């Protein structure tokens, strides 16, 4: 008989499904009967809804990796390698990595060993000590970022702890490759908030104010960006999912298997007018500041009532063009193009038509965003802690954008 290891998938602490890993490396996902029969069940993912709104209950097995929804819960790149090493798990063995990190995942989903199960034994990892939850992490990404607790008492600051379940703040450490990234993101997120976008609470803190920085992250200098987790509240976790999960694609395909038109169409179907307008507002804003990294994982839905989706607060807003000379393309196609300079009223009209959104709503929101950006940017750009190169690059970039010229 093949060896089978089972993990319970819980949503808001309640078991809803299982992930079963077979000895040949395949992973099988299945919903529990009670979840299937519950007409008021909380939503795990729009990817599990068929075109008629019914719950999908039959799934194919995945070899070596877990299904896309769960693969997207795991960190990527250097952070994955770092945490896998800390947990004693191979980075490519997603089932076992999920087991190790499953107590502090984004949103309200957790993954736990089934009752009576020992730690899953990866045959290729024999002899390596498993360290469950070796270090908390938060939203996936390549920049090192960890979930932390805000310290009580006079000292303030935050603490990254090596055990337990996660805190309610994200600490994004300085990049070893590019200077001033936390300051850049703080400035762009601040401008976005001033323009009326939904942005979580953020702070810039000296690295000395962050306790428990793990060994092995390298020599870091400068400030860290601290962000209040919008999937954590005093009443418990709030479920979220990103658009790679919604579209059922793996993290490696976050730049290639989707576009902004598709995101807009989902929002038009599943959410309200205010969320569609906020999507257009953020889309135009990211073009104006030159953010070429708004891929599928940088757009998310949130489920405040556990069932009905809304566009989540904004995150990962920063200008990428100062770091990549000559790069002026968006992470995804708008509708027909991904050239930022080519974003125009005509391109937005095409996007609106294909996504079945109100053309008037899209164009009115775009115009308002351009006008509001010009006002806030000119008033605040010299008051924010971004490098001079960031300011100068955005000033030069924005004048190349057709939409900016059309609405000026």
* Catalytic residue positions, numbered: 293
Closest CA to 303 of 234, 251, 236, 355: 236
269: exposed, middle or buried (C-beta count within 10 Å: 0-12, 13-18, 19+)? Answer: exposed
Q: Two tokens at 320?
A: 């990428």
* CA distance linking residue 394 with residue 33, whole number of Å: 53
The strand pair at 26-31 and 62-63 is best described as antiparallel
How far, in whole angstroms, is CA 98 from its chain's centroid?
Answer: 17
Segment holding 232, helix H or strand E: strand 232-233
42: exposed, middle or buried (C-beta count within 10 Å: 0-12, 13-18, 19+)? Answer: middle
* CA distance linking residue 261 with residue 26, whole number of Å: 34
Q: Two tokens at 31?
A: 């919903």
Does residue 248 contact residue 69 with C-beta atoms inside 8 Å? Answer: yes
Q: How many CB atoms lie within 10 A of CB 228?
A: 15
Whole-angstrom CA distances from 113 to 8, 19, 101, 126, 290 are: 6, 10, 11, 19, 44
Q: Which residues pair with 303 in a beta bridge?
A: 239
Half-sphere exposure of 181 (CA within 13 A, CB side): 21
387: exposed, middle or buried (C-beta count within 10 Å: 0-12, 13-18, 19+)? Answer: middle
Alpha-carbon torsion angle 40, 41, 44, 48, nearest 10: -80
Closest CA to 331 of 321, 322, 190: 321
| Dihedral pair phi/psi, residue 144, rounded to 5° | -65, 120
Does residue 99 contact residue 111 with C-beta atoms inside 8 Å? Answer: yes
Does residue 286 contact residue 278 with C-beta atoms inside 8 Å? Answer: no
Q: Two tokens at 355?
A: 């996504």
């Amino acid at each position: 008989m093949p060896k089978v290891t089972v993990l319970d998938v819980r949503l808001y602490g309640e078991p809803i499904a299982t992930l079963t890993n077979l000895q040949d490396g395949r992973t099988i996902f299945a919903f529990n009967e009670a979840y299937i029969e519950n007409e008021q069940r909380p939503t795990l993912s729009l990817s599990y809804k068929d075109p008629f709104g019914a719950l999908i209950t039959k799934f194919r097995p995945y070899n070596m990796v877990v299904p896309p929804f769960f693969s997207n819960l795991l960190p990527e790149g250097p952070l994955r390698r770092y945490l896998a090493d800390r947990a004693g798990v191979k980075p490519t063995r997603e089932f076992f990595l999920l087991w190790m990190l499953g107590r502090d995942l984004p949103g309200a989903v957790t993954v736990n060993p089934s009752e009576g199960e020992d730690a899953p034994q990866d045959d290729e990892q024999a002899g390596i000590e498993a360290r469950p939850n070796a270090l908390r992490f938060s939203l996936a990404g390549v920049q090192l970022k960890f979930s932390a607790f805000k310290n009580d008492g006079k000292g303030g600051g935050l603490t990254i702890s090596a055990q337990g379940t996660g805190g309610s703040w994200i600490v994004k450490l300085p990049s070893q490759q590019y200077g001033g990234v936390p300051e850049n993101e703080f400035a762009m997120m601040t401008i976005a908030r001033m323009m009326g976008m939904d942005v979580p609470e953020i702070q810039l803190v000296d690295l000395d104010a962050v306790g428990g920085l793990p060994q092995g992250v390298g020599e870091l200098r400068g400030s860290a960006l601290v962000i209040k987790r919008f999937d954590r509240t005093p009443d418990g976790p709030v479920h979220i999912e990103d658009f790679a999960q919604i579209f059922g694609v793996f993290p490696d395909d976050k730049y290639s298997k989707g576009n902004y038109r598709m995101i807009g169409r989902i929002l038009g179907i599943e959410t309200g007018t205010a969320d569609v307008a906020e999507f257009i507002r953020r889309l135009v804003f990211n073009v104006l500041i030159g953010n070429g990294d708004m891929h599928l994982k940088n757009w998310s839905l949130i489920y405040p009532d556990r069932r009905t989706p809304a566009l989540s607060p904004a995150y990962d807003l920063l200008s990428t063009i100062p770091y990549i000379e000559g790069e002026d393309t968006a992470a995804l196609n708008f509708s027909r193009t991904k050239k930022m300079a080519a974003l125009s009223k005509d391109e937005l009209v095409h996007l609106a038509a294909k996504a079945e959104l109100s053309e008037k709503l899209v164009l009115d929101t775009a115009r308002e965003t351009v006008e509001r950006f010009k006002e806030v940017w000119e008033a605040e750009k010299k008051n924010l802690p971004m490098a001079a190169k960031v300011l100068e690059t955005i000033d030069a970039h924005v004048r190349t954008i057709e939409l900016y010229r059309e609405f000026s």
